[in-house]
Amino acid sequence: MTGGKAKQRNLKQVCFRAVRTHFDAIGLEGVLGLPTPLIRDLLPHLTICQLDELQPALNQRGISTYSGWIGILLDMCRPEQAVGLHTEEEAKHEVMKWLFTFVFYGFTNPFVKRNLANLNTPSFLWAAAKCLTSFTLLGSPGSHKKLQWLTEEQRPLLNLFEKRMKTVKIVSNPMDLSKKGNQTALYIFHRLADHGVADTVLVHSDCPVLLAWILYGRGTQHVSPELMNLMHARKESGIPQDTSVREGGPSCSSGLVSSASADRDDEATPCKRPKISFVSSEEEKSGVANVVVDPQILCRVFAPCDGPSAGTCPRGQIKHLELNNCRSDSFRVLTDALPTFFCLRSLILHSSWTFTDSDILSLARALRRLSESSRSCLTDLSISALPYAKLMETLLNASSEVKSLHVEIHTVVPYSRLAESDTEELPLEKLTVKVTEVQTDMQLFTSVLRRCPNLTTLHVAGMRLPTGSSQKRLLTTLSESNHHLKILHLEDMKLSDCLPEILNLLKVCKLEELRLNDCRLLEKWRDKEESLRQLVTAVKKVPSLHTLSLAQNRLARNVCILSELFSGSSASLVNRLNISSNFIQPAELLEFADTLRTHRPPHRLTLDLRKNPGDRDPDTWDTALKRLRPFGVVLVEGWVSTHTMADHISNM
């Protein structure tokens, strides 16, 4: 019998591979005519283009391609990449995002190597591009040919980018904007940000002149002197006087328009275009290149007859800006532009080191000037990292429109006290504070919370207090001042003496998400079972709560009490429960599963069990998982118990 089943499985695999190989001959109708269970088994064996082609018809039959996309993602990435992808479209987008960049720029990984024949095709790039809303511009020398190919043979793909790409991500070392390869990248950015729909820009490069070029004319009135010097260099030449056409191509007036227009009739067909030289014959001999960085001139150079250059180029607005590896010179370009950056809605600043207090104070002054203009749209601000906590309040006082603030605080030197805290109400709705200070100024933090009565989301991580102090004050302030709180995420904090305050907070606030991760909850509870039961009872009385996370709290054998969330007539409506990293042993999980069968959740449950020692007794663990899966989605991840230090830390 066993041998027969093995042969049957092998025969099925052979048939699936045959369908993949001869998909065009079989056709859509042939595949769609298969029984539904067989189609579901077939999905993980199809190529990406085949899966994409089948998806609309399968959806009409009520068949999801989710398993196929997740199978591809697990094959090419680490398992955690698939966590949190709950829909077909989310999984498909993640696959296309990874593979498009790999294939377009010629990067390889084992999955790409195995499937290169099916991926390195115009049809795949076209199918992937139709799924994406973000494009990455690489400024490395190896990427120049790929970008040039996009402006020549693959112009239909660039036209598609214009219509779809909402985000442009620039990854580069400091750029010499006068170099031809970099001018290609500038032109593509111009097409996406000015002629296209892109309004979100992510810059992973510390290049002040590049940042000045990006900001120029796109929402701010500031003009960088360094950029102006570059743009006006040899201004008298304007467009290169000898814009020759290489490879013997015809001139613009001798048929270039008609040939390009014919190619545009079929958007998916690559169109061969003559390569435009940026360098005149005299400049080529002298070695001095003509500087072309003005977007208007770039458009005429790259699309002299039929492109978007007809007439005056539009100027797009940047609404969302993220700067990584931001050093002082780039910081100065930003703060100079910020007071008139009226279209900017969100700003993210990240550096691999801590910003200086002078940098942050100059940013605060720029924010104040922007706010005083009464034309500011900036509502989201994220900065990592501040040198001390007081500057968080300084930034909030400077910008009265900010509703979402994310800061990381890395204390490097003691600070001299600034002005006393303000008491004016703030419009803040979302606040994230991640701290690496040895000791946190709790008074400062609670004063900010009291000024934010409309706060709906709070995430605090790493807050350390002096010996003998407690986080009770934080929780009490939330109960008294922040009644609109819906999402509370406390992480890497000591809350083992705060159970009464947690219970009171659950009574007062209509929380939708509660995450108490790595908070040492059970550490000081004398009767751990009874205290955890009190928490469960309080959670059940919050009908709005749908997400509960108690990860990294060493629940261990006490996990069974959580099954009482779904007991009785007032069962909890929690549908996402995270109990990862709690050193839950297989026998304890099996007991939890059996108890859950008695107290069945009223809806499908997403249960996160990652990083628990299932390999201590694999058979019992697998049995527990089988009993849990009928209740919903179970997230698991491998654990190696030979990592004794990890075991020890989790069981402390």
The whole-number pLDDT of residue 496 equals: 92
Q: For 408, which DSSP code?
A: E
Nearest to 554 by CA among 583, 575, 580, 528: 583
H or E element in which residue 386 lies: strand 380-386
Decide if pLDDT at 247 tops 80.
Answer: no
Model pLDDT for residues 68-127, shown as the tens digit of each residue = 888 888 777 766 666 667 788 888 888 888 889 888 888 877 888 888 877 878 888 888
What is the pairing mode between strands 404-409 and 380-386? parallel
The top-scoring range by mean pLDDT among 219-233, 241-255, 357-371 is 357-371
264 pLDDT band, cuts 50/70/90, is: very low
CA distance 580 to 607: 9
Mapped onto helix, strand or coil, the DSSP state of residue 581 is coil
Residue type, 530: E
644 pLDDT band, cuts 50/70/90, is: very low
Residues 583 and 551: beta-carbon distance below 8 Å: no
The whole-number pLDDT of residue 244 equals: 34
Residues 521 and 495: beta-carbon distance below 8 Å: yes
Q: How would you write 424-486 as a 3-class SS string?
A: CCCCCCEEEEEECCCCCCHHHHHHHHHCCCCCCEEEEECCCCCCCCCCHHHHHHHHHHCCCCC
CA distance 552 to 578: 10
- Give the tokens for residue 535: 């928490």
The whole-number pLDDT of residue 299 equals: 85
The whole-number pLDDT of residue 108 equals: 78
The whole-number pLDDT of residue 548 equals: 97
Give CA torsion, residues 625, 626, 627, 628, to 10 deg.
50
The whole-number pLDDT of residue 402 equals: 95
Residues 585 and 616: beta-carbon distance below 8 Å: yes
283 pLDDT band, cuts 50/70/90, is: very low
Decide if pLDDT at 255 tops 50.
Answer: no
The whole-number pLDDT of residue 304 equals: 63
Q: What is the pTM of this model?
A: 0.81
The whole-number pLDDT of residue 153 equals: 81
The whole-number pLDDT of residue 638 equals: 63
Decide if pLDDT at 232 tops 60.
Answer: yes
Domains of the chain as residue ranges with CATH? 1-117 (no CATH), 133-246+260-344 (no CATH), 521-652 (3.80.10.10)
- Give the tokens for residue 542: 């919050």
Decide if pLDDT at 365 tops 50.
Answer: yes
Decide if pLDDT at 5 tops 60.
Answer: no
CA distance 46 to 393: 54
Model pLDDT for residues 570-594, shown as the tens digit of each residue = 899 999 999 999 999 999 999 999 9
